Structures are given as structure tokens and as C-alpha cells.
Amino acid sequence: MEYQFSDRVRSLKPSAIREILKNSSDPSVIPLSAGNPAPDAFPYDAVSALSADLLKNAPIDALQYGVTEGYAPLRKHLMEYMGKKHQVGTENDDILITSGAQQVMDLLTKTLLNEGDTVLCEAPSFIGSLNTFRSYRAKLVGIPMEEDGIDTKKLEEALNTQPNVKYLYTIPNFQNPSGITMSLEKRKKVYELCRDHGVVILEDNPYGDLRVSGEDVPSIKSLDREGVVVYAGTFSKVISPGMRVGYAIGPKEVIQKMVVCKQGEDVHSNMWAQIVCHRFMTEYDYEAHLERLRGIYRRKSQLLLSAMERYLKPLGITWHSFEGGLFAWCTLPDGVDMLDFVKKATENKVCVVPGTAFLTDESEPCQSFRINFSTPTDEQLTEGIRLLAKTYEEMTK
């Protein structure tokens, strides 16, 4: 039979990048292209003990239908915790538990966006979210990044000139892929600009707890007293991504609509995972756990920095400094074709993601690529960087 697909699905073009990365699943290739948390960061013993207790003493809570809004004790605790620790959420806000933070991007888009409406995003930005916005036929407008975050002059220009802007998508902490953290001054400016233009801010903060140096910067949501910001949080990087538990904290009116949309998508999120996350936060020393994670990532990031200093710096390959997260954003000297470099690196058995993958328009020129330091082992990390240098030398000798 011949199928008549929807316009939104037909407009999703196959990516040129997929072709380049198709060998990345080969186990002999060092994976600097992924975004998986380090395996030793998972709280195995706690999850195992909590799960056993739950399935013994309250199995029906884990196995029966739940409500769309999420497991009530987790919702309550998260609102209190995020309010107390991060000043996130007001009495006019509500919380929705989602199937990973990706679903926050999906549900907010479904709630706000008509086909052809504009989404402003950082350029570069997280490819997973960009693809979600594309699946609703959003017009994506990228705003360039500076060392201290989004270019607020260009943002203001876009707010003044782009039609039907529904929201700004930003990852203020250790942005994926650039690693950049937005300064407090810019956060205030971004908040004021969007508020004054009646544009929602979708603040995605998957890496906020993974700061390895420097001082925490207050979230944009913590500045929000006027219902401008929908904040996306997740347990994917701090407990487990396989559990698929994220959440949105935002204005009640918006969250209510997102609940209706979620009901039609998956009714509610996995109950076992919601309960285990709640009990892990409340029955274990959650802050000590986060500190342990930061220790793991601090060590890994220093390992990466040493290898880059040793192998890449002498070649003129540069990178953005970063204070946390899982990624480094490297830039090749002019005159070397970045896509060709990434392709040849894969042939040399190391895989990174070409920077064009993170642009609103993949065909724009780009000399950058993204390195992940959480997935590879220590040995793979150092060897991977050495192989990148080798690739560059082969191309330029």
C-alpha cells in the first residue's frame, strides 16, 4: 500500500550527519559522540534497595495506573526542593512529571505552537530539542552565542522582527553543545526582553547539578514572578536516563494544558521510576550523591582538558572553556573541512559530532565539533583525543 504521510513527517529531512555517524555504533570506534552519563554515576545500590522495598511493600503503587500529573509525593517534594534550594517556582506555578525532559519540549510545543510559528533558540543548540520543535513545523530562528551566553542584542532584534514568536529555548548552564554558561546579567536581560514581548522562555537545565568549577548562577526561572518561564528538569543525568523521569515547573495555566496533551500521549509516566526517584531524594543523602557525581565529572573533565592541552592545542584546535556539563566544543583552524575531519576521524576509530548538527540550518558553515567526556573510559578519552590530533595531522601534512 502507498502511505500518505503528514506534512510534518514528510518535512523531516534525513540528516547528512547520520551518514557520517553511521559507523559510530561500531564497538571498535571510541565514542566521544554520545551524551550518556558515566556508568559509575548511577546509584545502583540505592535504586536496587528502594525498588525491592517498593515491590515488596507497596507493589500496587508501582503497578496500577497513576494520574497524568505525576506521582503526588514526588510532585510535592520537587516543588519544595526546587523552591528552597533553587528559588524555582512560585504559588502561581505548578509541576508536571514527564517521561524525561524531552517530553517537556514536546508538550510545551504542542501547547503553544501552530505550524509555522517561530521558536527562538541558541545557535548552536541541542539537536534533540530542535528536532522536536521541527516535528511541529516550527520556524527555528537561531540567535548566536557569545562567551557569556546568548547575544541579547540579536535576541532583541529577533523579538522585534520575527512574526509569531511563541518561545525562546535556552540551556543556560553548560549549554549543549557549546558548554557556555549564561551570565546573571544576561539572564536578567533575557527575562526582561521575553517578558516585555509576551514570549515564554523554555529553560532547559539538565546539567545544572553537574558544575565542576566556579559558582552557581541563579536560574532564569528564579527571577520569574510574572509567569514567563517554563523550567525543564530531569533525573536523567543525576539518577538514571533509562528511567525516563523529567518534570516541568511553570505557570499553572500552561501546565494544565500540558497535562491534557500528556494524557493523549502516554497517559502518565512509569510509576516505579517516579516512586524510586522520590524515595531516593527523600531517604538518601541526595546532596552527598550530587557531590559524588560532581567528583566523577570533575575528574573526567580534567582528564579531557589535559589531553586537549597536550594533543589539540599545539595544532591550533581551540575550545570554549566550560565549568560543568558533559561536553566540550572544539573549533578547527580555518582551511580544514570540518565534515571531512569528522568523517576521517571515524575512519581513525574515534567519533565526535559535527557542529552543523546543532544548527537550525545544517548547511551553514561551521568549523566546530562536540566532544563528550562522560561516556568513554579514561583510556578511551585520552586515546580518542590523540586520534583526533592524528586525523588533523594526516589532513594537513
Contact by Cβ (8 Å): 186, 145? no
> What is the spatial distance between Cα 151 and Cα 182, in angstroms, rounded to a whole number?
10
Looking at residue 47, the DSSP 8-state letter turns out to be H
> What is the spatial distance between Cα 177 and Cα 125, in angstroms, rounded to a whole number?
6
Check binding of 263 to its own copies (CB under 8 A). yes
What is the smallest separation between the CB atom of 125 and its own copies, expressed in angstroms? 14
Window of 50-58, 73-81, 150-158, 348-356 that interacts with its own copies by CB under 8 A: 50-58
Contact by Cβ (8 Å): 355, 36? no
Which residue in 141, 200, 210, 293 binds its own copies (CB under 8 A)? 200
> What is the spatial distance between Cα 207 and Cα 225, in angstroms, rounded to a whole number?
24
Residue 194 or 389 having the CB closest to its own copies:
194
- The cell for 9 is 513527517
What is the smallest separation between the CB atom of 109 and its own copies, expressed in angstroms? 8
User: In whole angstroms, what separates CA 201 from the centre of its chain?
Assistant: 15
Check binding of 52 to its own copies (CB under 8 A). yes
| CA triple 66-69-74, angle to 5 deg | 80
Window of 109-117, 169-177, 207-215, 277-285 that interacts with its own copies by CB under 8 A: 109-117
Residue 107 or 150 having the CB closest to its own copies:
107
Residue 150's nearest CA partner among 133, 163, 169, 131 is 169
Check binding of 48 to its own copies (CB under 8 A). yes
Which residue in 77, 188, 257, 386 binds its own copies (CB under 8 A)? 257
Window of 39-47, 207-215, 282-290, 292-300 that interacts with its own copies by CB under 8 A: 39-47
Contact by Cβ (8 Å): 105, 131? no
Residue 292 or 310 having the CB closest to its own copies:
292
Check binding of 325 to its own copies (CB under 8 A). no
> What is the spatial distance between Cα 198 and Cα 176, in angstroms, rounded to a whole number?
26
**Concatenated DSSP letters of 144-191:** EEETTEE-HHHHHHHHHHSSSEEEEEE--SS-TTT-----HHHHHHHH
Of 224-253, which residues contact its own copies (CB under 8 A)?
Answer: 226-228, 236, 240-244, 251, 253
Check binding of 65 to its own copies (CB under 8 A). yes
Residue 170 or 181 having the CB closest to its own copies:
170
What is the smallest separation between the CB atom of 331 and its own copies, expressed in angstroms? 27
Which residue in 30, 78, 82, 113 binds its own copies (CB under 8 A)? 113
CA distance to 29, 232, 302, per residue, from 360 (Å): 28, 21, 31
> What is the spatial distance between Cα 151 and Cα 164, in angstroms, rounded to a whole number?
20
Contact by Cβ (8 Å): 115, 169? no
Which residue in 24, 33, 99, 372 binds its own copies (CB under 8 A)? 99
Contact by Cβ (8 Å): 110, 262? no
Of 157-196, which residues contact its own copies (CB under 8 A)?
Answer: 166, 195
Residue 43 or 217 having the CB closest to its own copies:
43
Residue 200's nearest CA partner among 69, 104, 115, 91 is 104
- The cell for 334 is 580555518
Which residue in 70, 89, 100, 124 binds its own copies (CB under 8 A)? 100
Check binding of 115 to its own copies (CB under 8 A). yes
Residue type, 311: Y
> What is the spatial distance between Cα 176 and Cα 329, in angstroms, rounded to a whole number?
9
What is the smallest separation between the CB atom of 67 and its own copies, expressed in angstroms? 10
Each residue 283-312 as x (binds its own copies by CB under 8 A) or -, in order, gives: ------------------------------
What is the smallest separation between the CB atom of 392 and its own copies, expressed in angstroms? 30
Check binding of 3 to its own copies (CB under 8 A). yes
Residue type, 173: N
Beta-bridged to residue 204, according to DSSP, are 232
What is the smallest separation between the CB atom of 168 and its own copies, expressed in angstroms? 13
Check binding of 31 to its own copies (CB under 8 A). no
